[in-house]
A and B are shown apart, each in its own frame.
Chain A
Amino acid sequence: MDAGNGKRGIDGGIVRLLIIVLLGVGLISVPWLTHSRLVAGEEAVDAAWADVESNLQRRADLVPNLVRSLRQYMTHESETLVRLVRERAEALSEALGEAHEIETSRIAGLDAALSQDLGRLMRQAGEHPDLRSGDQFLRFQAQLEGSENRLNVARMRYNEAVREYNAGLRGFVGRWVAEPMGLRSRDYFEASPAATEPFAVEF
């Protein structure tokens, strides 16, 4: 009987020890794994943003050549639009070059404004019969639409990465891990309603 009582005591002790060890492992590993996942998510967001920036810059770089080539076909009344497009492209390039923290809303706004005016410029240029029938306009159109489409894809992938990352931050464990580790939610790449307001151009 004494041997049986001793055996039950040892089993109980081992079980308690195991529970404590498992709790300890859980308390360490769950936040650690969550932190790792959130950091990986943040890296994915940064990588996706780099893709967005690269495509924004690519489109902004197309504008000077486009404007130079289209100028000969544009009427005097279109000069304002041409200058507006050029100014918007320069502003976007500057914003991309200067931003120390990702100012997605501001950049999204500049991008939306440039897209809008580029679209108007191409529509006006397309009304010129000589330009419309030639391969030059086809080339311009393809380059611009190609840039727009790449930007759309990059923007979509960036927003997906942000959605997954932000969802992780708001999770049950994530919300406790994020604050002390300095992990913050990220903004989606969406233009604010003010983005389509007229842009002040100085001549």
Chain B
Amino acid sequence: MAVVPVVGAGLLLLALLLAGRGWRLAWWGPLGLAALVLLGSPWWPRGPELVEDRVGLLADAERERLSDYHALLGADHGIDYRVVIGRELGDLDRFAVDHFRRHGLGAGGDAGRGLLLVLDVAANEVRLEVGHGLEAVFVDAFVAYVEARQMTEFFAVGRVADGILASTELIVAQAETAEGEVLPALAGSGGAGARMPARLGEGATAADEAQVVIADGATPHDVLAAYRRAMQQRNDNPELAIYGRETRRMLADWVMTPAQMDNMARSLAGCPVARELTAADARRVVLLAPVAERRCPPYFFVREGEAWRLDLAGMMQAVRFGRDNRWRLEVGALGPYGFGFEGMALDANGYPVVP
């Protein structure tokens, strides 16, 4: 809607120009149009509201962040993903189907690619309804997994917006694996999806207390392998022996969901280590996957005492992921790990240039 004041200002200027040239009748036209544009803009039809928060659960900034992210999901993957947060919505399954139909989710084009997340704060239930065109991509089991193993983990500690965003990342990843020919489908939904307890106000679940077993003199490769085992076992203990001091401090307040750990385990299983780079003082190491593996991030290690530890805190500062889950570098935040990327060609956004 930023175009409205620009267009209005342009028309006003045109009117003034015509009046200055003595075109007294002609300048009424642009003046009238300018008035119509500037004064009538509040009544112009707007696009659909992507995040409808009927109970004020989300802060304005959170709602805007979610709306922006879901708009990008629409632009990148043609998925119309909307959120409704309400109270006492009745039968959530019925509400979702009716809302889908009434608001024409996914009705653009003929692909029926709509998603609707409904959260009832009074019933403490959440449902993700899947449109006809996406049923083959987001099967019921996947939706239940996203809700139970990712989304509601955040809901339990009061981070509703973060939970929705975190689940959208899984949705994006799944959409990318299924990218291909878009088959025509009916608009609307037929009851596909899943409903789960939302776990609002439940509080954080107690972290695992199991430790990882790692031999004395373990190399960074061994530590990475131990980390992969911990993620496979969904060990969310923030005090694992393989974590550095800063990493343990960071993870103490971290929401580590089962889905994130599964994702990490899969990533580690599918990402080979191509190079090991050691700092000049031999106290830091970077393990790099082949640059062409754009979804395989680098891993940082720091030597504390006589043992190598995983420095996830350092990685969080320096390694970021785009919407397509490809990693990039925040060059200014590399700190002591810059040695690992000397000579690596990066684009303006910090994405490695694949030779």
Residues of A117-169 contacting chain B, CB below 8 A: 135, 138-139, 141-143, 145-146, 149-154
- The answer to whether B194 and A146 touch across the interface, beta carbons within 8 angstroms, is yes
- The answer to whether B140 and A142 touch across the interface, beta carbons within 8 angstroms, is yes
Interface size on A, residues (CB 8 A): 15
- The answer to whether A142 and B191 touch across the interface, beta carbons within 8 angstroms, is no
Given contacts A135-B149, A152-B93, contact A142 B141 (CB under 8 A): yes
Q: Give the distance in Å from the alpha carbon of A143 to the alpha carbon of B189 in the complex.
A: 16
Q: Give the distance in Å from the alpha carbon of A152 to the alpha carbon of B190 in the complex.
A: 9
Q: Please tell me the size bucket of the interface on B.
A: 10 to 19
Q: Give the distance in Å from the alpha carbon of A135 to the alpha carbon of B195 in the complex.
A: 15
Interface membership of B97, Cβ < 8 A: yes
Q: Mark B191-205, 1 if CB is under 8 A from A, else 0.
A: 111110000000000
Interface membership of B148, Cβ < 8 A: yes
Residue of B nearest to A136 (CB): B141
A152: chain B residues within 8 A (beta carbon): 93, 191
Interface membership of B144, Cβ < 8 A: yes
Q: Give the distance in Å from the alpha carbon of A125 to the alpha carbon of B141 in the complex.
A: 17
- The answer to whether B145 and A143 touch across the interface, beta carbons within 8 angstroms, is no
A138: chain B residues within 8 A (beta carbon): 141, 144-145, 148-149
Interface membership of B118, Cβ < 8 A: no
A141: chain B residues within 8 A (beta carbon): 144
- The answer to whether A143 and B191 touch across the interface, beta carbons within 8 angstroms, is no
Q: Give the distance in Å from the alpha carbon of A150 to the alpha carbon of B129 in the complex.
A: 11
- The answer to whether B190 and A150 touch across the interface, beta carbons within 8 angstroms, is yes
- The answer to whether A150 and B191 touch across the interface, beta carbons within 8 angstroms, is yes
Min C-beta distance of A55 to chain B, whole Å: 8
Residue of A nearest to B140 (CB): A146
- The answer to whether A149 and B141 touch across the interface, beta carbons within 8 angstroms, is no
A146: chain B residues within 8 A (beta carbon): 140, 191-194
B192: chain A residues within 8 A (beta carbon): 146, 149-150
Q: Give the distance in Å from the alpha carbon of A186 to the alpha carbon of B191 in the complex.
A: 24
Interface membership of B50, Cβ < 8 A: no
Q: Give the distance in Å from the alpha carbon of A167 to the alpha carbon of B110 in the complex.
A: 32
Of B141, B143, B144, B190, the residue contacting A153 (CB under 8 A) is B190
Q: Give the distance in Å from the alpha carbon of A151 to the alpha carbon of B140 in the complex.
A: 14
Residues of A9-51 contacting chain B, CB below 8 A: 51
Residues of B49-77 contacting chain A, CB below 8 A: none
- The answer to whether A139 and B144 touch across the interface, beta carbons within 8 angstroms, is yes
Would you mind naming 15 contact pairs between A and B with Cβ atoms under 8 Å apart?
A: A138-B144, A142-B143, A142-B144, A143-B140, A143-B141, A145-B194, A146-B140, A146-B192, A149-B191, A149-B193, A150-B190, A151-B191, A153-B189, A153-B191, A154-B191
A residues in contact (CB < 8 Å) with B: 51, 135, 138-139, 141-143, 145-146, 149-154
